[in-house]
Amino acid sequence: MDLLTALDALFVEFEQALAGAASLESLEALRVDALGRKGRLARIMSRLPELAAQARPAAGQKANSVKERCTALFEERANALLAARESAALKRFDPTLPGRTPWRGSLHPTTLITEEICAVFTAMGFDIVSGPEVEHDYYNFEALNMPAAHPARDMQDTLYITGQMLLRTHTSPVQVRSMLVRRPPLSVIAPGKVYRRDSDVTHTPMFHQIEGLVVGNLINFAHLRGTLTTFVCAVFGSRTKVRFRPSFFPFTEPSAEVDISCSLCGGTGHVAGGPCRVCKATGWVEILGCGMVDPTVFAAVDYPDSVSGFAFGMGVERVAMIRYGINDLRMFFENDTRFLTQFVRG
Ligand code: PHE
118 lies in the same domain as 252? yes
CA distance 212 to 221: 14
Under 8 Å between Cβ of 306 and 235: no
Cis peptide before 49 (omega within 30 of 0): no
- Range 299-323 average pLDDT: 96
Residues 114 and 65 in one domain: no
Q: Which of 233, 220, 238, 216 is nearest to 306 (CA)?
A: 216
Q: Measuring CA to CA, which residue among 142, 149, 178, 132 is closest to residue 311?
A: 178
Question: What pLDDT does 51 receive?
Answer: 86
Flag whether pLDDT at 264 surpasses 90: no
Residue 346 domain flag:
no
Q: Would residue 100 count as lying in a domain?
A: no
Residues 215 and 163 reside in one and the same domain: yes
CA geometry: angle at 252 spanning 278 and 188, to 5°?
80
Same domain for 194 and 308? yes
Is residue 345 in some structural domain?
Answer: no
Instruction: Tell me which residue has its CA closest to atom 6 in ligand 1.
Output: 313
Q: Are 245 and 256 in contact (CB under 8 A)?
A: yes
**Among protein residues, the one whose CA lies closest to atom 9 of ligand 1:** 312
Question: What is the full DSSP assignment across 273-331?
Answer: TEE-TTTTTSSEEEEEEEEEEPHHHHHHTT--TTEEEEEEEEEHHHHHHHHHT---TTH
Q: Which of 46, 62, 92 is the endpoint of a domain?
A: 92
Do 149 and 253 belong together in one domain? yes
Instruction: Give the distance from CA 295 to its chain's centroid.
Output: 41
Atom of ligand 1 nearest to the CA of 209: 4
Interval between CA 302 and ligand 1 midpoint (Å): 21
Mean pLDDT across the chain: 92
Domain shared by 75 and 216, yes or no: no
What is the predicted pLDDT for the residue at 346? 60
> Is the Cβ–Cβ distance between 279 and 262 less than 8 Å?
yes
Q: Is the pLDDT of residue 276 over 90?
A: no
Q: Which of 45, 63, 92 is the last residue of a domain?
A: 92
| One domain, residues 231 and 291 | yes
**Residue 183 belongs to domain spanning:** 109-340
- 253 marked as binding residue: yes
pLDDT at 155: 66
SS (H, E, C) 211-253: EEEEEEECCCHHHHHHHHHHHHHHHHCCCCCEEEEEEEECCEE
Does residue 116 sit in the same domain as residue 87? no
* Among candidate residues 63, 92, 121, the one where a domain is terminated: 92
- Over its C-alpha atoms, the chain yields an Rg (Å, rounded) of 40
Is residue 102 situated within a structural domain? no
Overall average pLDDT of the 239-256 stretch: 96
Q: What angle do CA 167, 173, 179 make, to 5 degrees?
A: 155
Q: Does 98 fall in a domain?
A: no
Which atom of ligand 1 is nearest the CA belonging to 194? 4
Please, which pLDDT band fits residue 254 given cuts at 50, 70 and 90? very high
208 and 264 housed in the same domain: yes
Kindly give the number of the ligand 1 atom that is closest to the alpha carbon of 212. Answer: 9
Q: Give residue 191 CA to ligand 1 midpoint distance, Å.
A: 13
| Residue-wise pLDDT tens digits, 163-196 | 899 999 999 999 999 999 999 999 999 999 999 9
- Asked if residue 255 belongs to a domain, the reply is yes
Is the per-residue pLDDT at 153 higher than 80? no
312 CA to centre of ligand 1 in angstroms? 6
What would the mean pLDDT of 135-162 be, rounded to a whole number?
89
46 and 114, same domain (yes or no):
no
Task: Give me ligand 1 centre to Cα 241, in Å.
Answer: 21
- Coil, strand, or helix at residue 102? coil
- To test the ligand 1 pocket, which listed residue (198, 249, 252, 319) has its Cβ within 8 A of the most ligand atoms? 249
Residue 225 · residue 200 · CB < 8 Å: no
In tens, the pLDDT along 25-56 reads 999 999 999 999 999 999 988 988 888 889 88
Whose C-alpha lies nearest to ligand 1, atom 5?
313
Q: pLDDT tens across 132-144, in order? A: 999 999 999 999 9
Q: Which atom of ligand 1 approaches the CA of 314 most closely? A: 5
Q: In which element (H, E) is residue 74 found?
A: helix 56-92
Atom 7 in ligand 1: residue holding the nearest Cα = 313
283 lines ligand 1 (CB under 6 A): no
* Residue 68 lies inside a defined structural domain of this protein: yes
pLDDT attached to residue 149: 85
Q: Decide whether any atom of ligand 1 lies within 6 Å of the 311 Cβ.
A: yes
Task: Please tell me the total number of residues recorded for the chain in this structure.
Answer: 346
Domain presence at residue 113: yes
Q: For the chain, report the end-to-end CA distance as a whole number of angstroms.
A: 87
Nearest CA to ligand 1 atom 2: 313
61 and 180 inside one domain: no
The per-residue pLDDT for 86 is 87
Distance, in Å, from the CA atom of 91 to the CA atom of 5, rounded to the nearest integer, reads: 45
CATH code of the domain in which 284 resides? 3.30.930.10
| Three-state DSSP class for residue 108 | coil
Q: How far is Cα 68 from Cα 81, in angstroms, rounded to an integer?
A: 20
Number of domains forming the structure of the chain: 2
- How many Å lie between the centroid of ligand 1 and the Cα of residue 250? 9
pTM (2 decimals)? Answer: 0.72
Count CB atoms within 10 A of the CB of residue 216.
Answer: 14
Instruction: Tell me how far CA of residue 250 lies from CA of 16, 32, 100, 253, 307, in angstroms.
Output: 97, 87, 57, 8, 18
Averaged over 249-269, what is the pLDDT?
93
Antiparallel, parallel or unpaired: β 252-261 and 165-167: unpaired
Over residues 75-123, the pLDDT tens digits come to 999 998 899 888 888 888 888 989 888 888 889 999 999 999 999 999 9
pLDDT at residue 2, as a whole number: 85
Within its chain, how far is the Cα of 137 from the centroid?
Answer: 31
- DSSP 8-class letter at 345: -
Looking at the structure, tell me whether residues 139 and 265 fall in a common domain: yes
pLDDT at res. 67: 92
Please report, as a single letter, which amino acid is at residue 162: T
